[in-house]
Structure 1
Amino acid sequence: MSTPIAFGKARFLTSAPSIRQCPPETGREVAFAGRSNAGKSSAINALTNNHRLARTSKTPGRTQLINFFTLGDEAYRLVDLPGYGYAKVSRELKEQWQRDLSEYLERRKTLQGLVLLMDIRHPLQEFDSAILHWAMQGQMPVHILLTKADKLSRSQVNNTLFKVHKELKNLGLHDNKLSLQPFSALSNSGVDELKSVLQSWLIPSDGACEEPNTGESEG
């Protein structure tokens, strides 16, 4: 049985202004991506039970850095990617973010999976679909968090889950590397399910990848 990931021991490691300044490709990491108003920082804080870990801002798009957090052991990391699709920045900067994000998802060897956050009231916006396509092209597992589920009734949540499943099939993106769940940072609903997904990515139970990638070999 694999050792449980110490989500409660998450600590800030470093920030990078671009993909070029990311830490060395050692160990294993899971990235969080989403629109700037999707509640990404709140979800990370709920996951780690530390409401000061990831900075939340009333100004969506303010955080423009790639932030790395260790999970008790520096071999395992969470990566908070810059929010997209809302920030009032130049087109040139937005295009640079898109290039960096695409490169990170497709080439980062230590990346084991992507958590894609969407407001459950506004799922599958244009850039969400673009990220899904990038991830699928790189054979990257994706777990979709439909955030702010507390804003809807249970029947509305279930209806949205059904519609998103259907839309993913229409986009040709529904396969065994793609999963989704409702989530609420406010009520901590869905935290255990999210932990289970991340645990399976960071420390596979089959033991096939039990040793973290040391990054010593050149690809």
Structure 2
Amino acid sequence: MSLFTSLRFLTTVNDLRQLPQEGIEVAFAGRSNAGKSSAINTLANHTRLAFVSKTPGRTQHINYFDFGNERRLVDLPGYGYAEVPAAVRAHWEKLLSYYLMTRTNLIGLVLIMDARRPLTELDRRMIDWFRPTGKPIHCLLTKADKLTHQEQIKTLRAVETEFAEDSMITVQLFSSLKKKGVEKVEEIVGGWFDAVSYEMEEEPQMDSEK
């Protein structure tokens, strides 16, 4: 069974104090209406696992999904939707920044960006919040099917060039409609979990040798 097809809903929280204490997790973040929920549903091969809102910016909760074996996917609230009240937007941006910079359970970030409008100011801000942790970031350029083949190549190259000197940031095209790019996300995220699990298994052995 592939990694994401085992995904199951776990819980919803609206306060960082309610976050689960156990397990390791990968967060999915992105601008409102960038296709984050659709990407999660496509990866899980499930039409309604993650809620796809018809009103971008409406969902302001943190949703946890479970892969099994204490591995979690965290669906963060979409950011940047203009019609959300400024106070609410500021509140969630503060919580998101704190979560990304301090959450020890978090091992990597999948940043969802609409391939037609990648690397907006808010996307760059998310990267700036997370980059100092030294943990990996995988940029998912969604809705790639809305671009021509040449436009896809141009966009992918432009974003890759932006991060060419940062080995912790990877980039790919993705299409929920065409189910394009699923295998690569599986490979990247699965690799993050495997690497951390290996480190955790090695620690007791190292301690016992001292």
Deviates more, 1:135-144 or 1:15-24: 15-24
Which amino acid is 1:149 matched to? A
Q: Which residue of 114, 139, 155 maps to 2:134? A: 139
- Residues of 2 paired with 1:177 and 1:58: CA distance? 34
Q: How many residues align?
A: 203
Q: Give the 5 Å matches for 1:160-179.
A: 160-168=155-163, 174-179=165-170
Aligned-pair distance for 1:45?
0.5
Deviates more, 1:153-162 or 1:179-188: 153-162
Give the share of equivalent positions with the same residue, in percent. Answer: 48
Aligned-pair distance for 1:168?
3.7
Report what 1:33 is aligned to. Answer: 29
> 1:203 touches 1:210 (CA, 8 Å); kept in 2?
no
Which amino acid is 1:35 matched to? R
Q: What is the TM-score of this pair, normalised by structure 2?
A: 0.91
Q: Which residue of 96, 101, 109 maps to 1:101? A: 96
Q: Which residue of 7, 12, 34 maps to 2:9? A: 12
- Residues of 2 paired with 1:11 and 1:77: CA distance? 9
Q: What is the TM-score of this pair, normalised by structure 1?
A: 0.87
Secondary structure in structure 1 of the residue aligned to 2:111:
strand
Matched, 1:207 2:175: no
> 1:115 touches 1:142 (CA, 8 Å); kept in 2?
yes
> 2:3 touches 2:186 (CA, 8 Å); kept in 1?
no
Deviations 1:181-217 (A, max 9, x none): 00001111000000001101112289223489xxxxx
* Structure (1/2) with the larger helix percentage: 2
Bigger RCO of structures 1 and 2 (CA < 8 A, at least 6 apart): 1
For structure 2, the 5+ residue unaligned runs are 204-210
> 1:204 touches 1:210 (CA, 8 Å); kept in 2?
no
Report what 2:149 is aligned to. Answer: 154
